[in-house]
Chain A
Amino acid sequence: MPFRFLPDVALADIAFEAESDSVNGLFETCALAIEDIMVDPETLRNTSERTLSVESESLDRLLYDFMTELIVIKDVDSLLFGKVRADVSKDGTSLRAVLAGEPIDRERHRLRNDVKAVTMHLFGIKHEGGYWKTTVVLDI
């Protein structure tokens, strides 16, 4: 479930591309990429569990809304996650995710960038050669 940062996209922000051989894997990879931008996962203990349900009108929108939810949870509940399990419905319009992480601890966590929004720039899910792929540009 790899993701890689794109240094030549969006000078003021951070972009990454992700791919997986499954839709669930793509969602999980994108979630972990966002968390990785905010905190070094090596410093995070996955002691608290949280479930999340999201509904949307399309698979693209579902991923967008799922990532936005992670940003909202970071701001409202100060929670960061190191483990994600996503279960996307067959029609691609809803998901249930189980997230494991912990509240932000400024002493122990190696914090990185504060992600503030998911942009629509270059965004969209492609299914090519058996892989689900996406490019995500985050507003920092």
Chain B
Amino acid sequence: MPANPAIKQVSEVCWEVPTSYKPGMNVPARIYANKKLLDNMDSGVIEQATNVACLPGIVRYSYAMADAHWGYGFPIGGVAAFDPEKGVISPGGVGFDVNCGMRLIRTNLHYSEVKPRIKELVDLIFNLVPAGVGVKGSQNFAQSQMGDITALGVRWCAENDLAWEDDPEHVEEGGFIKGADISKVSRQAITRGVSQFGTLGSGNHYLEIQVVDPARHFDRELAREFGIVHDDQVMVMIHCGSRGFGHQVCTDYLRTFESGMRKFEIVVRDRDLACLPFSSKEGQDYYSAMVCAANFAFVNRQIIVNKVREAFSRVFHRDAEALDMHLIYDVCHNVAKVETHTYGGKTSKVLVHRKGATRSFGPGHPDVPAPYRKVGQPVIIGGSMETGSYLLIGTQKAMEETFGSTAHGSGRTMSRTAAKRDFRGAELQKKMLDRGIYVKAATMDGLAEEAGLAYKDISEVVETMDRAGISKKVVALRPVGNIKG
């Protein structure tokens, strides 16, 4: 994106687009990026962030994080908070894959123990966790159970021997968001979703065996709080969401919202910004259905974790408990939630949309689970499969500046079609193996599309968020085994 004279620099890593940028902006837009990321950001981000700034009831700023890129209506990497009484809710501000998110599990294994068995381990997980086009999960539930599952999320799993006792508290919102109502979800969504629990999906979703990078172990004391106690400790990261269930919820409600906008006489700058008053029946119905999809995603990731624990146990001939395979945390990065925030000298409830953005609550916040409350909420930022990922921590500054939000990943710079044209899956697989990363992919085309060069440099993104102080680096994790959907 060429330098835009309308953009004012707030700090080294924060830029503001004033309300004079385009008619109808209710608040300014703020972009978190260093100069290099800003210069390379696609121009759609500014247009979309300022379009979001025009929506009714938005408060403070429309935000774009350092990994922002063009999305449907809202930019991916976008955050926007709305007054629950006067403001709107927008499916485009959540995304199709409701509660796409990240989950990080630790082990007590050293890489030296895992390295000789990485192929066996990845191959077994690949067999236990279905990935790719039209896959079905191994966990069979009845459609009649969907109401309970999507109401109680990981709590339901714990009550049904599908989660460890301490798993729910290590998931955002304690394992389920309140307010689910399955009667607001279509039959089609339920039918699509019921057989997909425990599946990874495709696109940019992955399951990765990672190792703590000793050269980028930024805060050992904080890492210890999460059970990360030695260099080359082996971890598992999972990136996936609510599968066909969430996509169908979004598809269904985009239609409802498009016709509802005529009824409420809401005019938006882009059809993909379809929104309705949060307080309207349609707005509340979408929220209830979206919460079902978010809880579905928590359960999906839980079932996958169970399979990962099983695989480690089978390969290393020890119980998963003996391998200390506890959940460090599970974060949503596509969701809208009612949260309490303090801004402009008042404390009130707001509806925070995070689309490709992660909650980053700081120390002492009551919504941070008790084991982490004194240090802050773990923030999991996934990179491309070639570059590795990061564990960060939420901060008080995020509470003050961004409604407790930060970035979510590295963000694409190249389309799938272009990546497939420029890279070959088999070559990439071999190149990664030469670098010590064993990759198993559902399809070679899908692998080519996820080449590291198709993404922004995650280190630039993480450094920017760290420098902005809205999340702080704890440790970098480098991939050694990857399952690509």
Q: Which residue of the partner chain A has the closest CB to B421?
A: A7
* Residues of chain B having any CB pair with chain A under 8 Å: 42, 69-72, 76, 96-97, 132-134, 136, 188, 191-192, 195-196, 201-204, 243-244, 247-248, 250-251, 254, 258, 271-272, 274, 412-418, 421, 442-443, 445-446, 449, 485
Q: Contact check, B134 vs A114: say whether CB atoms are below 8 A apart.
A: yes
A114 touches B203 (CB 8 A): yes
Q: What is the minimal beta-carbon distance from A105 to any residue of chain B, in angstroms?
A: 11
In the docked arrangement, what's the CA distance between A80 and B202, Å?
16
Identity of the chain A residue whose Cβ is nearest the Cβ of B485 in the assembled complex: A114
A114 touching B132 by the CB < 8 A rule? yes
**Count of A-B contacts with CB under 8 A?**
113
Interface residues of A (CB under 8 A from B): 5-15, 38-39, 68, 71-72, 74-76, 78, 80, 104, 106, 110-114, 116-121, 139-140
User: In the assembled complex, which residues on chain A have CB atoms less than 8 Å from the CB atom of B415?
Assistant: 7-11
**CB–CB B413/A72 < 8 A:** no
Query: Distance in Å from the Cβ of B356 to the closest Cβ of chain A?
Result: 9
- What are 12 A-B contacts with C-beta separation under 8 Å? A8-B415, A11-B412, A12-B71, A12-B412, A38-B133, A72-B188, A72-B191, A110-B443, A111-B133, A113-B446, A117-B251, A121-B272
- Asked whether A111 and B132 contact (CB < 8 A) given A11-B69, A75-B196, A119-B272, the answer is yes
* Complex contact B416–A14 (CB within 8 A): yes
* CB <8 Å contact, B443 and A112: yes
A78 contacts B134, C-beta separation under 8 Å: yes
Q: Which residue of A lies closest to B192 (CB)?
A: A75
Which residues on B sit within 8 Å (CB–CB) of A72? 188, 191-192, 244, 248
Asked if B204 and A117 sit within 8 Å, CB to CB, the answer is no
Q: Which residues of B contact A116 (CB under 8 A)?
A: 96-97, 201, 203, 243-244, 247
Cβ contact within 8 Å between B204 and A12? yes
Q: Nearest chain-A residue to B271 (Cβ)?
A: A120
Contact call B192/A14, Cβ cutoff below 8 A: no
Which residues of chain B are within 8 angstroms of A5 by Cβ–Cβ distance? 417
* B residues near A114, Cβ cutoff 8 Å: 132-134, 201-203, 485
Give chain B nearest CB distance to A4 CB in angstroms: 10
> Among the interface residues A6, A68, A118, A120, which one has the most CB atoms of the partner chain B within 10 A?
A120
Please judge, given known A-B contacts A112-B445, A118-B251, A121-B272, whether A140 and B133 are in contact too, CB under 8 Å.
no
